[in-house]
A and B are shown apart, each in its own frame.
Chain A
């Protein structure tokens, strides 16, 4: 789609003709975003926004962040040409952005290092977080251990069962993992519980939200901490191919790895963006987590966005084999990109993701996270339809080690 159409679509949202520069002062991305939280935590969001904007413009903060990303996380992560996969599929050239090679095995740590530095700057003595697959929980626990800060992570009981290894890792790192037994006992409920904790602890505690969701300034701030993914890709692909990619493909749960990859390319109109959601086991209620592809606009966890909910605004149950995508909401900026047509969103079912998980392991010697397997699965369908002169970059958002037990069970192996 050309930029002119894009701009006219953006205007429909009451914005000046731009596709970047969001959000506005109240955290709106067009009709999405905002701050829908109880008054008790409103002042903390104001404080966080102010501290973040100051830090963002402070060279000392950025130098420190870059130091830890380089020396501790191991950035930049490589952009790897998946040669065998490319040849087998017989179409576009496929590159994998190896976020699985980061310390702790996923992109989540880019954000937790940034936010913990901010928490220290604000003088907060304690950290809380929610986690689904456990990757954000581990990344938070890791940062908290490294900086010596007390940390509590909320995790749904069902997710604790699915991701027992990550629960143990968090405990090893000195974090208290608090089981959440309310509602569906998954990521949505862990997020509720983290907010409830924050309602009472807001004066001395910083809440490290793990995705580009929640009330302003989280969608903006988490995006900014994840921009490093897309910025590195841009530099790396120019070095390797001397041009920008034709397609960026990434999985979308809350949408932080995809937003981190997409955002630096938003004004490069020749680059197409495809977000891949969890199609679960079907299209019925409670069978999938395809928020953008089948949800409607509503409010969840502090912002307006596409949501899976009923006509009274009650959140509907969701399902995905991947605990990290098992969420009924999505970041407001993704909703905006969908509405203006800048990004396209598709859905991949559990079986396709599990197949891609195995295929990537066999063809490339890389075991991808089930979340990222959704992006690979879509690419396996899509790449063969493109010419060999086209380039796809997939965000391989995390390692699949954590998923080995779940996939083994699904495939009928006993470990």
Chain B
């Protein structure tokens, strides 16, 4: 069984939502990324969303753009990221889904990319710039390997598209909470709970919510209604804040921040 499916099964029996931190692979360096993943796992994160840096991420706000940019400037390659994941698999079974641009997947050949990702120990992909109707080959190649292609639903998605997407998405369904790009926001949209509940009625696939989820309070709100809580920009901002400090200190500080988000998501603190 794929690690993502197994995780959601376990969590369902415990009646707890998954907490899914997003980090950029290689920011500030790959060894720190590996250490951060292990730290997040230790603190109770359920699934890791690992961003593969891309030069032109149109769904991302300034924080993730900057993170991708400083990582690419240092010359990181996809092969190095996959090597890091392989190394990590010697010590951890935490499910990892990679956020990757279709440009990168397409470049080396879709099937070859999935095979390499699978071999390295990734459990799935989210491809934010690939709509569900575009590429059946990817879904078929993934299915053969029990590898998950996680699809997106946005607040602008029509009912017709929603049913198409819910049929295609595997592992979980990524609900984009806001009309807009990734980034830290003070407040989540008023209609978010209503939208998640509507989506829940259309599918039995777990629903994880991201974009704009920034504080333990947000995590708590989302954790009550959705099956998963995704936080990206707020964590990247925290990494950026400690980027000049020694790796151990950075990992510890960011770990503490993620710990609070986890407590929020799991509803074990008052926020």
Contacts and interface: CB of A to CB of B under 8 A. Distances in A.
B31 interface: no
A195 interface: yes
Given A304-B106, A309-B103, A312-B77, A39 B157 contact: yes
Contacts of A183: 55-56, 69
Contact of A314 (B55, B108, B130, B158): B55
A122 B151 CA distance: 28
A301 to B, nearest CB: 7
B165 to A, nearest CB: 7
Interface of B: 54-62, 65, 69, 72, 77-78, 101-108, 128-131, 133-134, 151-158, 161, 165, 176, 178-181
23 contacts: A26-B133, A36-B102, A36-B130, A37-B129, A39-B165, A40-B59, A40-B154, A42-B161, A43-B158, A196-B58, A196-B59, A196-B181, A199-B58, A199-B59, A200-B178, A200-B180, A202-B156, A202-B179, A313-B54, A313-B103, A314-B54, A314-B72, A315-B103
Contacts of A315: 55-56, 103
DSSP class of A's interface residues: helix, strand, loop or mixed?
Answer: mixed
Interface of A: 26, 34-44, 46, 182-183, 188-189, 192, 195-196, 199-200, 202-203, 298-302, 304, 309, 311-315
B152 to A, nearest CB: 4
Given A35-B131, A40-B59, A313-B107, A200 B179 contact: yes
B56 A37 contact: no
Nearest to A311: B107
A192 B56 contact: yes
A129 B133 CA distance: 27
A157 to B, nearest CB: 15
Contacts of A37: 58, 129, 131
Contacts of A302: 129
A38 B154 contact: yes
Contacts of B107: 298-299, 309, 311-313
A42 B78 CA distance: 28
Query: 9 tightest CB-CB pairs across the interface, nearest first?
Result: A200-B180, A313-B107, A313-B103, A40-B154, A313-B104, A195-B58, A299-B103, A39-B152, A38-B59
Contacts of B134: 26, 34-36
Nearest to A44: B156
